[in-house]
Amino acid sequence: MARINTNVPALVAQKNLRRAQGDLQISLERLSTGLRINRGADDPAGLIVSENLRAEIASVNQAIDNSQRAINVVSTTEGALNEVASLLVDIQELILEAANTGAVSDEEIRANQLQIDSAIESITRIANTTTFAGRALLNGGLDYVLSGVDFADLASVRVHGAKFGTRTSIPVEVILTQSAQKGELQFRASAVSSRATVEIRGNRGVATLTFESAASVQSVYQAINDISDATGVEAVYLNSSNPGSGVALRSVGYGSSQFVSVTPLGGDTFDVTDVNGALVRFDAGQDAAATINGALVIGRGLNLTLNSLTLDLELNLQETFPLSATSRFDITGGGALFQLGPDINSNQQEALGVQSVAGSRLGDDITGFLSQIVTGGDFSLVAGQARRAQAITDLAITQVAQLRGRLGAFERNTLQTNINQLEITMENLTASESAIRDTDFAAETSRLTRNQILVNAGTSVLALANATPQTVLALLGG
Handedness of CA 87, 93, 94, 96 (dihedral sign): positive
User: What's the confidence (pLDDT) of residue 369?
Assistant: 94
User: What's the confidence (pLDDT) of residue 1?
Assistant: 52
d(CA 224, CA 199): 11
Task: List the one residue out of 27, 22, 20, 21 whose CA is nearest residue 439.
Answer: 27
**Domain limits of the chain?**
184-284
Q: Specify whether the CB–CB gap between 144 and 162 falls below 8 A.
A: yes
d(CA 284, CA 271): 18
| Residues in the chain, total | 478
d(CA 180, CA 313): 19
| Strand ranges across the sheet with 303-307 | 154-162, 311-317, 303-307
The number of angstroms, rounded, from the C-alpha of 284 to the middle of its chain's C-alpha atoms is 32
Phi-psi map region of 324: left, alpha, beta (phi>0 left; psi -120 to 50 alpha): left
Q: Which segments of the chain have a pLDDT < 70?
A: 1-4, 477-478
d(CA 406, CA 136): 18
User: What's the confidence (pLDDT) of residue 13?
Assistant: 76
Phi, psi dihedrals of residue 126, rounded to the nearest 5°: -60, -40
- pLDDT tens figures, 416-467: 999 999 999 999 999 988 888 878 778 878 887 887 887 788 788 778 877 7
The number of angstroms, rounded, from the C-alpha of 51 to the middle of its chain's C-alpha atoms is 36
Q: Would you give the end-to-end CA distance of the chain in angstroms?
A: 17
Q: Specify whether the CB–CB gap between 200 and 224 falls below 8 A.
A: yes
The helix (run of H) or strand (run of E) holding residue 68 is helix 44-99
Phi, psi dihedrals of residue 208, rounded to the nearest 5°: -115, 130
3-state helix, strand and coil shares in percent for the chain, rounded to the nearest 5: 45, 25, 30
User: What's the confidence (pLDDT) of residue 2?
Assistant: 62
3-state class of 413 per DSSP?
helix
User: What's the confidence (pLDDT) of residue 15?
Assistant: 83
Phi, psi dihedrals of residue 439, rounded to the nearest 5°: -80, 135
3-state class of 258 per DSSP?
coil
d(CA 404, CA 408): 6
The number of angstroms, rounded, from the C-alpha of 275 to the middle of its chain's C-alpha atoms is 42
Give, to the nearest 10 degrees, the angle between helix 106-129 and helix 44-99.
170
Cβ count within 10 A of residue 416: 14
d(CA 10, CA 6): 9
User: What's the confidence (pLDDT) of residue 296?
Assistant: 94
d(CA 55, CA 429): 10
User: What's the confidence (pLDDT) of residue 197?
Assistant: 92
Q: CB-based burial of residue 362 (10 Å sphere; 0-12 exposed, 13-18 middle, 19+ buried)? A: buried
d(CA 248, CA 274): 9
